[in-house]
Amino acid sequence: MPGKKTAFITGASAGIGRATALYFAAQGWQVAATMRAPEKDADFAAADGPMRAFRLDVTDPRSIGRAVEEAIRAFGQIDVLVNNAGYGLVGPFEAMEEAQIRRQLETNVIGLMNVTRALLPHFRANRAGTIVNVASVGGRLTFPLYSVYHATKWAVEGFSEALTYELAEHGIRVKIIEPGAIKTEFYGRSQDTATNPGLAAYDAFVARVLPRMRRVGETAPGPEIVAESIWKAATDGTDRLRYKPNGAPLMAMRRLLPDRAYRAVVGRMLRV
């Protein structure tokens, strides 16, 4: 559809990605909604509409390349990349298997980097494009039992900020979205919980802390507020880097308090 802009969104089958795909479509954009199993999603089944599904697994570089090529062929041009695909690995670090750690890093960091690299030639050729990376307040502060997840989101923050220097002269903007707790599958089926039956040393800690963390997610706002923040980042035409859909008071507390005081506050909240 000539004249319409196109957003390429990863992890669009649920949560923030799905809400973002629907939000951009409602604003009249074309949407390449990418997911691992598009055939399972009736909302994105149309083969020739303004919102189409493309098969993409961020841990499979070949599927990334195919999805990018197919989306460009379908829509002519991609204007905005939304790197949203990701999930949370939780539990005591000592209980995590190496395969779990690698999967968390490959999905949240390496996958995001590979999708970005796949689209950079297209953006450079057009001398325009916006990369919106969904990080988290967890990329600027930390909570217990999320050590490797936090490591990935801190990595996304550093990667994104460094890219701004490299890409500015090519007309490409980089944006970071930092949601706080959001009511999505992140706290349910999308979460990978590390357990080790032979390691009981952390059982009492996990039983005390993890239910409190999950209750925060149950009472959090829905993903639509993040979709609106992504839309703003993608369309405001500024060089602003970071956007906070929610969680700003928590970020301010982390910025203003000394390390020991911040940890004490978190400890009281979560009974650490």
Catalytic residue numbers read 149
Distance CA 7, CA 259 (A): 39
Please report which residue ranges of the chain form alpha helices under DSSP H: 15-26, 61-75, 98-105, 111-126, 147-167, 203-218, 224-235, 248-256, 259-270
Do 41 and 20 form a contact (C-beta atoms < 8 A)?
no
Continuous H helices in 55-142: 61-75, 98-105, 111-126
Strand 30-35 versus strand 51-55 pairing type: parallel
CA distances to 139, 154, 183, 217, 224 from 214, rounded to whole Å, are 18, 21, 10, 5, 20
Contact 155, 136 (CB under 8 A): no
Four-residue CA torsion sign, 219, 221, 223, 229: negative
Amino acid identity of residue 182, one-letter, is I
